[in-house]
Amino acid sequence: MTEFEQQHLETLQRELSRNVIVPNRENSFIPRTDDELIFTLDVQYVDEEGFVALDVMRFGGEHLGIFVSRQRATFPYIPQFFSFREAPLLLNVIRTVMSEHGLQPALLLIDGHGLAHPRKFGIASHVGVEMNLPTIGCAKETLIRYAGELGELRGNTLPVVLDGEEVGRVLRTQNSKNPVFVSVGHLVELGVACEIVLNLSSAYRISEPLRRADQAARAFARGEERIFLGEKSLELRELSK
């Protein structure tokens, strides 16, 4: 990528980031009923092929299924510009599940960052703005340095700050386990986002729906048709091409 191309993409990210809505707690998305749906997404890549998994569950805990799709990425892998590669794949799967299966998500949970990105426009914000849906980014690593020492107890947090603004939080989901990194994608207040991720992380460091989506994407990339979580066997439902 040339310097001119990089500057163009950086400018585009900064412009798009202006469309991200970061509400206060009173105006934030908050789950109202146990029946509302969460779409959780992850991707596994093999060369230029993206193997996307979309997990569907209700806020009350009922798991409805996992959809998978194989798509070719048309944008190269470039650090900090990952959303231009991945967003088209995720958007296609979300829209297909909504249109072909009649499922309407109240919230999108995405393996990646939202505002906690050098130009405040990671994959969770990219998808959230495009879909105009409440979206949370939850990642295993951070793109932005943070200060302080995180407490060892479940629920402890530290702010991730960029240009004087809190753009994310380091969140301990299990006692003494490595933390995750939560940020606003769109239409969700950061404290609410952390509460949702923590509530979805009852037994493991990674929240249950992200764990399922991660394992499903990996299994699908290996050509498998189901995943095994403990004693449960979950079928992967491939979307029509």
Residue 7, domain member (yes or no)? no
Please determine, for residue 25, whether its predicted confidence score (pLDDT) is greater than 70: yes
Residue 48, domain member (yes or no)? yes
Residue 136, domain member (yes or no)? yes
Residue 77 burial (10 A CB sphere; 0-12, 13-18, 19+):
exposed
Boundaries of domain holding 212: 35-238
Q: Give the count of alpha carbons within 13 A of 146, CB side only.
A: 24
Q: How many CB atoms are closer than 10 A to CB 24?
A: 8
Residue 12, domain member (yes or no)? no
Residue 63, domain member (yes or no)? yes
pLDDT of residue 80: 85
Mean pLDDT of 117-125: 97
Mean pLDDT of 75-89: 91
Q: How many CB atoms are closer than 10 A to CB 82?
A: 18
> pLDDT per residue over 56-74, tens digit each?
999 999 999 999 999 999 9
Please determine, for residue 136, whether its predicted confidence score (pLDDT) is greater than 70: yes
Amino acid at 220: F
What is the count of structural domains for the chain? Answer: 1
83 vs 99: CA distance, rounded Å: 23
Instruction: Report the share of the chain in percent with pLDDT over 90.
Output: 91
Q: Poorest-confidence range of 9-13, 18-22, 210-214?
A: 9-13
Residue 16, domain member (yes or no)? no
Residue 21, domain member (yes or no)? no
Residue 26, domain member (yes or no)? no
pLDDT of residue 241: 63
> Could you tell me the two tokens for 201?
């992380």
What CATH number corresponds to the domain at position 107?
Answer: 3.30.2170.10
> pLDDT per residue over 147-202, tens digit each?
999 999 999 999 999 999 999 999 999 999 999 999 999 999 999 999 999 999 99
